[in-house]
Amino acid sequence: MKLFIVEDSPMMKVRLIQMLEQIEVVEIIGEADNQNDAITKISELKPDVVVLDIRLKEGNGLEVLKYIKTELPSTVVIMLTNYPYVQYRDKSFSMGADYFFYKATEFTKVFDVVSSIVQNSKNN
Protein backbone atom coordinates (compact mmCIF):
# COMPACT_ATOMS: atom_id res chain seq x y z
CA MET A 1 0.00 0.00 0.00
CA LYS A 2 1.34 3.40 -1.03
CA LEU A 3 1.24 6.07 1.67
CA PHE A 4 2.05 9.79 1.45
CA ILE A 5 2.68 12.14 4.40
CA VAL A 6 1.87 15.86 4.40
CA GLU A 7 3.33 17.33 7.60
CA ASP A 8 5.24 20.54 8.30
CA SER A 9 6.91 19.43 11.54
CA PRO A 10 10.14 17.49 10.84
CA MET A 11 9.92 15.76 14.23
CA MET A 12 6.32 14.67 13.67
CA LYS A 13 7.18 13.47 10.16
CA VAL A 14 9.99 11.28 11.55
CA ARG A 15 7.65 9.86 14.21
CA LEU A 16 5.03 9.04 11.59
CA ILE A 17 7.53 7.36 9.29
CA GLN A 18 9.02 5.28 12.11
CA MET A 19 5.57 4.18 13.23
CA LEU A 20 4.10 3.41 9.81
CA GLU A 21 7.20 1.62 8.48
CA GLN A 22 6.43 -1.09 11.03
CA ILE A 23 3.44 -2.15 8.93
CA GLU A 24 4.86 -4.71 6.55
CA VAL A 25 3.17 -3.80 3.26
CA VAL A 26 3.16 -0.02 3.72
CA GLU A 27 5.48 1.87 1.39
CA ILE A 28 5.95 5.55 2.21
CA ILE A 29 6.23 6.94 -1.30
CA GLY A 30 6.69 10.61 -0.48
CA GLU A 31 6.23 13.55 1.80
CA ALA A 32 5.58 17.27 1.63
CA ASP A 33 5.45 20.16 4.07
CA ASN A 34 3.43 22.67 2.03
CA GLN A 35 0.26 22.78 -0.02
CA ASN A 36 1.74 23.13 -3.53
CA ASP A 37 4.34 20.37 -3.13
CA ALA A 38 1.71 18.10 -1.62
CA ILE A 39 -0.70 18.55 -4.51
CA THR A 40 2.03 18.17 -7.15
CA LYS A 41 3.50 15.01 -5.62
CA ILE A 42 0.15 13.42 -4.79
CA SER A 43 -1.04 13.97 -8.37
CA GLU A 44 2.11 12.24 -9.67
CA LEU A 45 2.37 9.40 -7.14
CA LYS A 46 -1.33 8.60 -6.61
CA PRO A 47 -1.07 7.18 -3.07
CA ASP A 48 -3.64 4.84 -1.54
CA VAL A 49 -3.52 6.71 1.80
CA VAL A 50 -2.53 10.27 2.73
CA VAL A 51 -1.79 11.39 6.30
CA LEU A 52 -2.54 15.10 6.18
CA ASP A 53 -1.92 17.98 8.58
CA ILE A 54 -4.20 21.04 8.46
CA ARG A 55 -1.54 23.67 9.14
CA LEU A 56 1.32 23.67 6.65
CA LYS A 57 4.32 25.95 5.98
CA GLU A 58 2.57 27.42 2.94
CA GLY A 59 -1.12 26.93 2.31
CA ASN A 60 -3.23 24.49 4.27
CA GLY A 61 -4.23 20.88 4.40
CA LEU A 62 -7.88 21.57 3.68
CA GLU A 63 -6.94 22.71 0.17
CA VAL A 64 -4.92 19.51 -0.27
CA LEU A 65 -7.91 17.50 0.97
CA LYS A 66 -10.16 19.27 -1.55
CA TYR A 67 -7.76 18.38 -4.36
CA ILE A 68 -7.45 14.74 -3.30
CA LYS A 69 -11.17 14.14 -2.97
CA THR A 70 -11.85 15.84 -6.33
CA GLU A 71 -9.08 14.17 -8.35
CA LEU A 72 -8.38 10.91 -6.46
CA PRO A 73 -11.61 10.22 -4.55
CA SER A 74 -10.71 6.64 -3.60
CA THR A 75 -7.60 7.81 -1.71
CA VAL A 76 -8.08 7.43 2.04
CA VAL A 77 -7.31 10.69 3.86
CA ILE A 78 -6.37 10.69 7.54
CA MET A 79 -6.35 14.21 8.97
CA LEU A 80 -3.80 14.47 11.81
CA THR A 81 -3.69 17.87 13.46
CA ASN A 82 -2.94 19.97 16.52
CA TYR A 83 -6.24 21.75 15.83
CA PRO A 84 -8.92 19.31 17.02
CA TYR A 85 -11.62 21.97 17.10
CA VAL A 86 -15.10 20.97 16.03
CA GLN A 87 -15.15 23.44 13.14
CA TYR A 88 -12.03 21.83 11.61
CA ARG A 89 -13.37 18.33 12.24
CA ASP A 90 -16.73 19.16 10.65
CA LYS A 91 -15.12 20.94 7.70
CA SER A 92 -12.70 18.05 7.12
CA PHE A 93 -15.48 15.46 7.12
CA SER A 94 -17.73 17.60 4.93
CA MET A 95 -14.86 17.84 2.41
CA GLY A 96 -14.43 14.06 2.37
CA ALA A 97 -11.81 13.23 5.00
CA ASP A 98 -12.06 9.62 6.09
CA TYR A 99 -10.56 10.12 9.57
CA PHE A 100 -9.70 13.05 11.84
CA PHE A 101 -7.26 12.67 14.75
CA TYR A 102 -5.72 15.01 17.33
CA LYS A 103 -1.91 14.64 17.40
CA ALA A 104 -1.60 15.02 21.18
CA THR A 105 -3.98 12.21 22.15
CA GLU A 106 -4.80 10.18 19.04
CA PHE A 107 -1.45 9.88 17.24
CA THR A 108 -1.32 6.07 17.41
CA LYS A 109 -4.79 5.78 15.90
CA VAL A 110 -3.11 6.47 12.54
CA PHE A 111 -1.22 3.18 12.97
CA ASP A 112 -4.46 1.38 13.88
CA VAL A 113 -6.34 2.76 10.87
CA VAL A 114 -3.56 2.00 8.38
CA SER A 115 -3.18 -1.52 9.83
CA SER A 116 -6.92 -2.02 9.48
CA ILE A 117 -6.88 -0.85 5.84
CA VAL A 118 -4.04 -3.27 5.10
CA GLN A 119 -5.90 -6.13 6.79
CA ASN A 120 -9.13 -5.34 4.92
CA SER A 121 -7.31 -5.26 1.60
CA LYS A 122 -5.83 -8.69 2.31
CA ASN A 123 -9.30 -10.08 3.01
CA ASN A 124 -10.78 -8.77 -0.25
Domain range for 22:
2-110
pLDDT per residue over 69-117, tens digit each?
A: 999 999 999 999 999 999 999 999 999 999 999 999 999 999 999 999 9
For residue 119, is it within any domain? no
For residue 124, is it within any domain? no
User: What pLDDT is stored for residue 124 in this prediction?
Assistant: 67
pLDDT band at residue 121 using 50, 70 and 90 as cut-offs = confident
CA dist 112 to 19, 23, 78, Å?
10, 10, 11
**Alpha-carbon distance 96 to 79, whole Å?**
10
CATH of the domain at 68: 3.40.50.2300
For residue 115, is it within any domain? no
For residue 28, is it within any domain? yes
**Alpha-carbon distance 11 to 5, whole Å?**
13
Task: Tell me the mean pLDDT in the region 117-124.
Answer: 84
pLDDT per residue over 30-44, tens digit each?
A: 999 999 999 999 999
Q: What number of CA atoms fall less than 13 Å from residue 61's CA on the CB side?
A: 28
Number of structural domains (the chain) is 1
- Does the pLDDT value for residue 19 go beyond 70? yes
For residue 96, is it within any domain? yes
For residue 50, is it within any domain? yes
pTM: 0.96
For residue 122, is it within any domain? no
